[in-house]
Amino acid sequence: MTEWRECKLGDVIVLNYGKALPEKKRVFGNIPVYSSAGLTGYHNESLVNGRGIIIGRKGTIGSVHFSYKPFWCIDTAYYITDNEEYNLKYIYYLLQTLGLNELNEDSAVPGLNRNTAYQQDISFPPLPEQKAIAEVLSSLDDKIDLLTRQNKTLEDIAQAYFRKWFIEDASDEWEIKKLRDFGEIICGKTPPTTNKKFFNGNIPFIKIPDMHNNVYIFDTADTLSEMGAKYQENKFIPPMSICVSCIATVGLVSMNVFLSQTNQQINSLIPKHDKYRYYLFLFLRSYRDELLALGSGGTMTLNINKTLFGDIECYCPDDEILFRFNNVVNPLFGKIYNNCKQIRILSKLRNTLLPKLISGEIRVKM
């Protein structure tokens, strides 16, 4: 790798300590406030008067975030500022390849020691190649971000249609039914974890983290083997079932793309007819506050069991209205689905290219 130099991370960057800013002392403004977990609020004053990188120091160690505008970094994180010696966006991508999240040196609260981070070996290209590498990766990130924001807009439009049709213009003549009247409800289950042959197969095993910010679930962190899934064959849910988180983190609503199973924290509704699907999906998304109240039940952990979930009541509009509504929102969900497929492809490409570009295995033509 001609012109690349072998050095330590500390030879290139400075990790600056953030400054405490308790919530009660924040004055609401347009300055983002970052912690080790990422964006955590807003303030009217910046600690850093330019763009920068935020790295988790305590708690979520090694997490890497980028701010394009002045920001405040609190004391659970480090920050890095612009410097003429390097391309800041390249440093952002470099840090993601160093495994900083594995450098914990505190048994109580996870912590990233600055000197330990500085000792990490890196191969560092000249500035023009840094810029070129950053541009390649940024172009992918920008496209992913654009599609993600477009999906959020499409979801908001679909939800606005739902509110107009079924809340603002609701008819007293519509029948009220329970969720179980609209289809079959399946509460998930985890096969015995002592049998390793039950896991790491081709069948998606949906858990709550897989649902965050996802209308459609394409990928899951865990999978079941055919043996593991057959062990609890009555827990299969067909594609496009409506999955709702009902224990601990209550109120997430997603649809699975492939034949799947879920764990016990999720109740899934399998609609009897396609005409119900988007109506029920949007109803459950709009019902989050009620789900939280229903799940409280006087216990420390929120919990909506299968019976409580099935007892939830909602309007059952006539078929003509549901078909008309489907005709309106189906193109919106179709676009969201296609965008999600593109995001998935672009993310895999980005994650494949990232370590190869940063290591110099793949070079960018200048």
pLDDT tens digit string along 152-162? Answer: 999 999 999 99
Is the predicted pLDDT of residue 201 greater than 90, yes or no? yes
Tokens for 90, please give them.
């390249």
Q: Both 41 and 107 in a single domain? A: yes
Residue 154 placed within a domain? no
Residue 24, pLDDT score: 93
- Between the two ends of the chain, the Cα-to-Cα distance in Å is 14
Between CA 27 and CA 244 the distance in angstroms is 36
By residue range, what is the domain housing residue 207?
175-316
33 forms bridges with which residues in the sheet? 41, 72
Domain identity same for 183 and 119: no
Radius of gyration of the chain (CA): 24
In a domain, 236, yes or no: yes
What is the count of structural domains for the chain? 2
Among 299, 316, 333, the domain boundary falls at 316
Residue 281 in any domain: the answer is yes
Q: Does 238 reside within a domain?
A: yes
Question: Does 167 map to a domain?
Answer: no
What separation in angstroms does the CA of 53 have from each of 16, 35, 56? 10, 11, 10
| pLDDT for residue 357 | 97
* Whether 193 and 311 share a structural domain: yes
State pTM to two decimals: 0.89
**Residues 200 and 110 both lie in one domain:** no
Residue 32 lies in a domain: yes
Q: 210 and 297 share a domain?
A: yes
Share of the chain above pLDDT 70, in %: 98
Average pLDDT over residues 277-289: 96
Confidence of residue 151 (pLDDT cuts 50, 70, 90): very high
**With bands split at pLDDT 50, 70 and 90, how would you rate the model's confidence at 299?**
low
Averaged pLDDT of the chain: 95
* Tokens, residue 280: 């029920």
User: CA 131, CA 133: separation in Å to the nearest integer?
Assistant: 6
What is the token pair recorded at 322? 């549901």
Give the β-pairing of 242-245 and 266-271: antiparallel
Last-in-domain residue among 58, 91, 124: 124
Q: Is the pLDDT of residue 298 over 60?
A: no
pLDDT value at residue 30: 97
Q: What is the pLDDT of residue 365?
A: 81
For 216-262, the pLDDT digits (tens) are: 999 999 999 999 999 999 999 999 999 999 999 999 999 999 999 99
Q: What is the CATH number of the domain that holds 19?
A: 3.90.220.20
pLDDT digits (tens, 9 = 90+) for 170-187: 999 999 999 999 999 999
Is residue 26 located within the same domain as residue 93? yes
Q: Please report whether residue 311 resides in a domain.
A: yes
Assess if residue 261 is contained within a domain. yes
